[in-house]
């Protein structure tokens, strides 16, 4: 499979997942058809990410590095965000947010941060 | 003692210390998980979870400080292998967290467990820090990421 095609699959999968997450976040509950769309989007995203990150393949070292660094930065952002939200929720400053909304927000931010870093490193050409 | 010998000895000591520390953390983790599964009400539960979070934070800080110590000994020359292990451990932790949140979405949707925002955040925070520590330890023991 060519890298270009994998990238398209990744973008489409993520767009579907993020759209489903937006519905979940703004409605505050999860309908069964939204769940189906969400599952499809997540499977496609994780599948294409795993293939691109090179599970057993050593075809593109640069791409593997870019994905690993983007995931790492997304992870750091996720930890920072969780710490902040945890702090806010401890003092009840978070407002009326349900558990499903908190989860969908976390997934969406993790995905979006990954794409921001991925785009940045891709445009830069390398991670250094 | 030569610079290399000093580095090897300290590196060995740090790894031994980290293994003991990780063992204690694992025991605390099992205790907290058992507490969570048996009776998730009352202040004992809250204290256990709080302890779990604090130990996770301490573990992360300790690992960061250990890396700093190693780097200082190596005359501020960044260790490529440590950096690589760090990056890949965090990216694997990202996958774990992502899948864990998806599992929680399912559990919450089908009302298998109902968690509050606070509980979800604490569990995710623990999962993120602990999975990173676990992957870092695993790759460190293995020697490389391949």
pLDDT tens-digit readout, B95-138: 888 888 888 888 888 888 877 777 787 788 788 878 888 888 88
Return the higher-pLDDT residue of A105 and B44.
A105
A58 pLDDT above the threshold of 60: no
Picking from A69, A79, A99, the nearest residue to B120 by CB comes out as: A99
Radius of gyration of chain B (CA): 18
3-state secondary structure B50-72: HHHHHHHHHHHHHHHHHHHHHHH
Structure tokens at A121: 């490193």
**Cβ contact (<8 Å) for A38 and B105?**
yes
Q: Chain B residues with CB inside 8 Å of A72's CB?
A: 86-87, 90-91, 94
In the prediction, which pLDDT does B31 show?
58
Higher pLDDT, B40 or B110: B110
Taking the domains of chain A in order of start, what are their residue ranges? Answer: 5-124
| CA dihedral angle for residue A118, residue A121, residue A122, residue A127, rounded to 10 degrees | -120
Residue among A78, A83, A99 minimizing CB distance to B117: A99
Contact: A99, B124; criterion CB under 8 Å: no
Q: CB distance B91–A110 less than 8 Å?
A: no
Structure tokens given for B42: 């009352």
- Highest average pLDDT, of A52-56, B3-7, B88-92, comes from B88-92
pTM: 0.67
Task: Determine whether the interchain pair A85/B124 forms a contact, defined as Cβ–Cβ distance below 8 Å.
Answer: no
Q: How large is the C-alpha radius of gyration of chain A?
A: 16
pLDDT tens-digit map of A82-96: 777 777 766 676 666
Contact B120 A76 (CB under 8 A): no
> How far apart, in whole angstroms, are the C-alpha atoms of residue A71 and residue A75?
6
pLDDT of residue A116: 84
If you count residue pairs, one on A and one on B, with CB atoms under 8 Å apart, how many are there?
A: 88
Contact yes or no for A106 and B101 at CB 8 A: yes
Q: Which of A42, A89, A98 sits opposite B121 (nearest CB)?
A: A89
Asked if A41 and A69 count as a contact pair (C-beta separation under 8 A), the reply is no
- A90 and B119: CB-CB below 8 Å? no
d(CA A50, CA B67): 28
State what percent of residues in chain B have pLDDT above 70. 45
Over residues B42-81, the pLDDT tens digits come to: 455 555 555 556 666 666 665 666 666 565 655 545 567 7
Query: What percent of chain A has a predicted confidence (pLDDT) above 90?
Result: 0
In order of A107, B11, B14, B132, the CA distances from A77 in angstroms are: 12, 30, 28, 14
Angle between helices B80-109 and B117-142 (to 10 degrees): 150
pLDDT confidence of residue B58: 60
What's the pLDDT band for A33 if we cut at 50, 70, 90? confident
ipTM of the complex: 0.81
In the prediction, which pLDDT does B41 show?
A: 47
Chain A contact present for B31, CB below 8 A = no
pLDDT given for residue A51 in this prediction: 79
How large is the average pLDDT for residues A18-35?
84
């Amino acid at each position: 499979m060519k890298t270009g095609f994998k990238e398209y699959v990744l973008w489409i999968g993520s767009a579907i997942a993020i759209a489903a997450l937006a519905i979940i976040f703004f409605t505050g509950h999860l309908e069964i058809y939204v769940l189906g769309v969400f599952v499809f989007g997540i499977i496609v995203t994780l599948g294409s990410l795993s293939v691109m990150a090179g599970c057993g393949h050593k075809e593109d070292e640069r791409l593997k590095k870019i994905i690993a660094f983007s995931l790492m930065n997304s992870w750091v952002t996720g930890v920072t965000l969780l710490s902040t939200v945890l702090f806010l929720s401890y003092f009840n400053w978070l407002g009326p947010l349900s558990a499903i909304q908190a989860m969908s927000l976390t997934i969406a931010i993790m995905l979006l941060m990954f794409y921001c870093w991925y785009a940045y490193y891709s445009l830069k050409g390398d991670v250094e | 003692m030569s610079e290399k010998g000093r580095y090897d000895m300290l590196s060995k000591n740090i790894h031994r210390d980290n293994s003991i520390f990780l063992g204690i953390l694992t025991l605390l983790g099992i205790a907290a998980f058992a507490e969570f599964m048996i009776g998730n009400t009352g202040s004992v539960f809250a204290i256990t979870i709080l302890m779990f979070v604090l130990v996770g934070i301490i573990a992360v800080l300790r690992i960061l400080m250990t890396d700093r110590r190693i780097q200082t000994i190596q005359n501020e020359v960044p260790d490529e292998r440590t950096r690589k292990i760090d990056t890949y451990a965090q990216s694997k932790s990202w996958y774990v967290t992502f899948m864990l949140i998806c599992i929680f979405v399912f559990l919450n949707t089908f009302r298998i467990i109902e968690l509050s925002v606070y509980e979800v955040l604490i569990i995710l925070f623990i999962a993120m820090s602990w999975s990173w520590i676990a992957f870092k330890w695993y790759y460190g023991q293995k020697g490389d990421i391949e």
